[in-house]
Amino acid sequence: MQALIRRLTESYGPSGSEDQIRDVVRGEIRGLADYVTIDPLGNLIAVVKKKAKSGKKIMLAAHLDEVGFVVSHIDAQGFARVQLFGGVNPLACVGSRVRFADGRLGVIGIEARRDDLTKVPAVNELYIDVGATNAADCPLRLGDAAGFWRPMELAGRRLIAKSLDDRIGVAILIETLRSLKQTPHEVAFVFSVQEEVGTRGAGAAAFGLEADVGLAVDVTRAGDTPNGPRMEVRLGGGPAIKVRDARMIADPRVRELLEQRAREAGLATQREVLEGGSTDAAAMQIARGGMPAGAIAVPTRYIHTPSEMVELGDVQACVALLTRFLQRPIEL
């Protein structure tokens, strides 16, 4: 599974520019589903058809896109000013490398002359340096998108990479699709677009699929770092099952069924109460007439930075839990 995660995290795909990562995923799932389609917004949807009359229609979603940057201005010296795709903290940017769709690399710099060096830099103080000497020499154009660039590294049983949010969820869906030998349900594996800018892809997919139950697979913050977030989620504690976040309250029936399936399989889980942020489940929950929805999250440190960190055992447990959930009857 590590090789898969490496391919996914090292692929390019900021919000709105998911073509390259979508092609990678499409290659990974070839032959695993009954049919695969791409909807008008760009979501990749792989469907396993219903095998039993009593089966439900299930929507699973993990988003392809990553946070990133878009060129908004090129100055006379050839430096590119940017706006953001998603919740990028400028503190995580300075000195980081970024990559554009054509593979070109750049470095994020910050204006040296600032009024107060103790303040978090503003976005308009950042720029991308691609080695140009003037505006005419700069190969970038307005609207070009970039994402963080950093190769995946191992630290014992922990993985460190950019875009684990949410390529780790994508990896979990792929591995679940591979391991799902039988299910009574019709399952739509949705690899969604534009989650980081408002869960747009999942909303469109949920409207079209009209599923009976929805689950998002994403990351969540971990509260196990020095003076970290005050939340009872830690790396190595197992999948985090959502209770609520800033945009949704998970259906308690979905949450309880996930916890029941975890107990049956002897899997440790945690509950997630997230103060800020959300997942594709928020859009799924209110599509059309609404659907019971929940989320499984991988505890993650340093989210929306070039060096996000997860525990491999948590990832594997998410695959085991999701597979068991889909193999059994679902009655809510």
15-37 residue pLDDT tens: 999 999 999 999 999 999 999 99
The identity of residue 136, as a single letter, is: A
Quick check: 51 pLDDT over 80? no
* Residue 229, token pair as written in the block: 């977030």
Q: Bin 203: left if φ > 0, else alpha if -120 < ψ < 50, else beta.
A: alpha
Classified as helix, coil or strand, 47 is strand
What is the DSSP pairing of strand 126-129 with strand 44-48?
unpaired
Cβ pair 33, 48 in contact under 8 A: yes
Angle at 146 between CA 173 and CA 142, to 5 degrees: 135
- In the block, tokens 């949807």 appear at 45
- The burial of 133, by beta-carbon neighbours within 10 Å (0-12 exposed, 13-18 middle, 19 or more buried), is given as exposed
Cβ pair 308, 160 in contact under 8 A: yes
Every domain of the chain and the residues it spans: 2-66+151-327, 68-148
| Spatial separation of the C-alpha atoms in residues 53 and 60, rounded to whole Å | 20
- The string of DSSP codes covering 197-236 is TTSHHHHHHHHHH--SEEEEEEEEE-S-STT--SSS--TT
Quick check: 81 pLDDT over 90? yes
pTM, full prediction:
0.95
* Residue 198, token pair as written in the block: 């408002």
Predicted local confidence at residue 228, as pLDDT: 82
Span 192-212, mean pLDDT? 96
Quick check: 116 pLDDT over 90? no
User: What residues contact residue 318 under an 8 Å CB cut-off, 6+ apart?
Assistant: 172, 217, 239, 296, 298
φ, ψ of residue 297 in degrees (nearest 5) = -125, 145
Spell out the SS3 assignment of 244-267.
ECCCCECCHHHHHHHHHHHHHHCC
**Of 118-122, 220-224, 282-286, which gets the smallest average pLDDT?**
118-122
Q: Mean pLDDT, the chain, as a whole number?
A: 95
| Spatial separation of the C-alpha atoms in residues 75 and 72, rounded to whole Å | 10
pLDDT over 70 percentage in the chain: 99
pLDDT over 90 percentage in the chain: 88
CA distances for 85 relative to 91, 168, 249, angstroms: 15, 19, 25
Quick check: 113 pLDDT over 80? no
Predicted local confidence at residue 230, as pLDDT: 87
CA 263 to the chain's CA centroid:
26
Cβ pair 71, 147 in contact under 8 A: no
- The burial of 184, by beta-carbon neighbours within 10 Å (0-12 exposed, 13-18 middle, 19 or more buried), is given as middle
Cβ pair 111, 125 in contact under 8 A: yes
pLDDT band at residue 111 under the 50/70/90 scheme: confident
Active-site annotation, residues: 195
Task: Select from 141, 318, 284 the least CA-distant residue to 216.
Answer: 284
Span 188-199, mean pLDDT? 97
* Residue 221, token pair as written in the block: 């913050």
- CATH code, residues 2-66+151-327: 3.40.630.10
* Residue 246, token pair as written in the block: 């800033």
Any idea which architecture 68-148 has in CATH?
Beta Barrel (2.40)
| Spatial separation of the C-alpha atoms in residues 96 and 196, rounded to whole Å | 20
Torsion angle defined by CA atoms of residues 321, 324, 326 and 331, in that order, rounded to the nearest 10 degrees: -100
* Residue 327, token pair as written in the block: 């193999």
